[in-house]
Amino acid sequence: METETASVGISEPLLHDSDKISPLESVDDDDQVPQWKDQITLRGLVVSALLGTLFCIITHKLNLTVGIIPSMNVGAGLLGFFLVKSWTGLLSKLGFSVAPFTRQENTVIQTCVVACYGLAFSGGFGSYLIAMDERTYNLVGADYPGNRAEDVKNPSLSWMTGFMFVVSFLGLFSLVPLRKVMVLDNKLTYPSGTATAMLINSFHTNTGVELAGKQVRALGKYLSISLIWSCFKWFFSGIGDSCGFDNFPSFGLTLFKNTFYFDFSPTYVGCGLICSHIVNCSVLFGAILSWGFLWPLISQYAGDWYPADLGSNDFKGLYGYKPGSCCISYEKHLKVFIAIALILGDGLYNLVKILTFTVKEICNKSSKQSNLPVVNEVLDGDSSVVTPEQKKREEVFLKDRIPTWVAGAGYVGLVAISTATMPIIFPPLKWYLVLGSYVLAPALAFCNSYGTGLTDWNLTTTYGKIGLFIIASLVGRDGGVIAGLAACGVMMSIVSTAADLMQDFKTGYLTMSSAKSMFISQLVGTAMGCVIAPLTFWLFWTAFDIGSPDGPYKAPYAVIFREMAILGIEGFSELPKHCLAMCCVFFVGALVINLLRDVTPKKISQFIPIPMAMAVPFYIGAYFAIDMFVGTVILFIWERLNRKDAEDYSGAVASGLICGDGIWTIPSAILAIFKVNPPVCMYFGPSLSS
């Protein structure tokens, strides 16, 4: 998932053709593979629910602040190992007999957790779902063409949970019959799934036990540091959003007004440690380009390009909305639509690229000229010889089959239920539009899953935007906004869960886990997510001022998605002055930058920024880019001092920083619900002249 490359599609591939990696090396020849029923345990499900809740909270926090979700598969596998090992170790010391903890059980836990927290992203709690609410409607502007008061649907725990259940399972059934084709026949890499499998395999071998223990200790250490620091920060954060370390003018008050400051966030520093250097540098470059040059330049044209009395943007927030006015600032629209232009340009380029790559490789496969990137599983140098390990893996993978009729019947049954239910939840989305989406969805799910296997780029949001624009334009002004946003959710849920399932099948294949246990754990994890994701979001919704431009949880994608739906209905004619021209420049710029990244040598392309990552700070601010850049600087220095230690422990340290800050969200939300305010407001201002 999401993340997760699945979430934002901006991370670099984890493996390349040249990588000499064999996940088989960490598998003992005498491993006894347990039956699929024994791979799914009660303790595993309990641990999955606990970790699923934690990772849902982390995903919501990231979704509602910056919208970047790093891959947390490794963290899920590591924490699953830590909790079950602690559990079994404690029971053993107390004299109880416990079943051994196997790599298969570890894989099932990781799969279940990823399926659960994946719904916190694909469920749209930071994007299309809250784009329907009244606050987002007001932020866009009551007088903005195409933004109707009738197109409002405020969050409710009941309808959100129902929506999750009727759309989230379809992707799991859509591609099950193709698991052998994707994993065995084409030997697609699925880099994140392969990396996770290698990690889990290393935990369950004699040679990997010592390293696993050190990684767990590192995770626990930095989780504790992050939790204590987040608690300490709370005492100085006062009431509102202008106090505390989150508003520390690290580079002076002038740059602080332009959102350039370090806000001491363990989460964003952890993200910087996980994301690749080019992603973090791209985010910083986007922040400098927008908040350092573009927005200050445009603000000088007040009274020329737009009326000066519409309300100015003080650069503290996202929108520059003038309270009490019926108008939205010109600057706000430029931020939103330029960000949209970058996102769409990057998404369109990569969609065409991956589809072209997919068609080409399928044609090569049919003519036996495949050049697919594969994991080197043959260790004897003779590609015609199947090693015993590989043979055993294939035997385990194919042993517990999921009948095609089960997948087909499941998909058809769920389509019937969803087609009947979706128009009840979203009346503008007619049943025939829902049915048409489900007819098209498996083809898009295949493209997304195949592309993810080739490149590790999951374009879930791109496919969602395709559904949004098509349905919004078909429905028109009378309900097109709600219908488009709901259709976006349908498409995102299917293509995201399908790609996640296939990635987990790859992990299961490499860890000798039963395909049936993987599929059932996906079903269980998805069911958990349908309950846990709405509940954890409701914790944020009731405790914090979600979507407020002046609050910590600005939910930036809510406005983005609503305005894209309006754009699908109204077209480009209603955009502010010069907005379309600037959007075209940035759209073409995104295409050109991506093209340059592909045609230039790697020694040059590795320094070319990623447009998708550049777009994020355009409408959020530069502060989180500073945090992520601090993370990447730490990792860069660490790699120069000791590359092996950095490779071994950076993921654990990053997971600890993110999880500790995420855990603190729970007590802070409870305190907010009970109106318990921090005792101190630490505020910074200019010194008074004598």
More reliable by pLDDT, 451 or 661: 661
| Confidence (pLDDT) at 199 | 76
Structure tokens at 334: 């430029």
Distance of alpha carbon 163 from alpha carbon 186, whole angstroms: 35
Q: How far, in Å, are 90, 532, 615 from residue 583 at the CA level?
A: 59, 38, 12
| Confidence (pLDDT) at 528 | 95
Whole-number average pLDDT of the chain: 79
Rg (CA), the chain: 25
Distance of alpha carbon 422 from alpha carbon 430, whole angstroms: 8
506-519 per-position pLDDT tens digit:
888 888 888 888 88
Q: Which residue has the tokens 């504790």?
A: 224
| Confidence (pLDDT) at 240 | 67
134 touches 142 (CB < 8 A)? no
Distance of alpha carbon 589 from alpha carbon 294, whole angstroms: 15
Residue 375 phi/psi, 5° resolution?
-80, 130
Structure tokens at 646: 């950095």
624-678 per-position pLDDT tens digit:
889 889 999 999 999 999 999 998 888 888 878 887 887 887 788 788 777 788 8
In this structure, of 13-27, 95-109, 420-434, the range with the lowest mean pLDDT score is 13-27
In this structure, of 184-193, 240-249, 441-450, the range with the lowest mean pLDDT score is 184-193
Q: DSSP readout, 463-494? A: HHHHHHHHHHHHH-TTTHHHHHHHHHHHHHHH
Distance of alpha carbon 112 from alpha carbon 524, whole angstroms: 7
Which candidate, 66, 183, 176, 188, places its Cα nearest to that of 497? 176
| Confidence (pLDDT) at 451 | 66
In this structure, of 77-81, 431-435, 458-462, the range with the lowest mean pLDDT score is 458-462
More reliable by pLDDT, 577 or 27: 577
Q: Is the pLDDT of residue 21 over 60?
A: no
Give the CB-side neighbour count of residue 517, counting CA atoms within 13 A: 29
Q: Is the pLDDT of residue 523 over 90?
A: yes
Distance of alpha carbon 207 from alpha carbon 205, whole angstroms: 5
Query: Which runs of consecutive H residues, i.e. helices, occur in 22-169?
Result: 36-39, 42-65, 73-93, 103-122, 134-140, 157-167
pLDDT band at 566 (very low <50, low <70, confident <90, very high): confident
Residues 6+ apart with CB under 8 A from 375: 15, 21, 22, 23, 187, 189, 194, 510
In this structure, of 408-412, 473-477, 572-576, the range with the lowest mean pLDDT score is 572-576
10 Å Cβ neighbour count for 360? 11
144 touches 576 (CB < 8 A)? no
Q: Give domain limits for the chain.
A: 42-309+327-363+408-674
| Confidence (pLDDT) at 153 | 92
371-402 per-position pLDDT tens digit:
444 444 433 444 445 567 777 877 877 787 77
Distance of alpha carbon 329 from alpha carbon 141, whole angstroms: 10
| Confidence (pLDDT) at 311 | 41
- pTM for the whole thing? 0.74
Q: Tell me the residue type at 323.
A: P
Question: How large is the average pLDDT for residues 617-627?
Answer: 82
216-259 per-position pLDDT tens digit:
788 888 988 988 998 999 898 887 667 888 888 888 888 888 88
Gap between the terminal Cα atoms of the chain: 57
- CB environment 469-491: b (16+ within 10 A), e (fewer): bbbbbbbeeebbbbbbbbbbbbb
Structure tokens at 282: 């791209």
pLDDT band at 414 (very low <50, low <70, confident <90, very high): very high
Question: How large is the average pLDDT for residues 554-562?
Answer: 85
Q: Where are the beta strands (DSSP E) in 514-609?
A: none
Question: How large is the average pLDDT for residues 562-585?
Answer: 78
Residue 169 phi/psi, 5° resolution?
-90, -15
Question: How large is the average pLDDT for residues 471-476?
Answer: 88
For residue 176, the 8-state DSSP code is G
Distance of alpha carbon 478 from alpha carbon 148, whole angstroms: 9
Which candidate, 304, 230, 238, places its Cα nearest to that of 268? 230
Q: Which residue has the tokens 């305005």?
A: 563
| Confidence (pLDDT) at 499 | 85
Q: Which of 38-52, 178-192, 260-274, 299-313 has the highest mean pLDDT?
A: 38-52
Structure tokens at 653: 């340290």
Q: Is the pLDDT of residue 429 over 70?
A: yes
Question: How large is the average pLDDT for residues 481-486?
Answer: 93
Q: Is the pLDDT of residue 204 over 90?
A: no
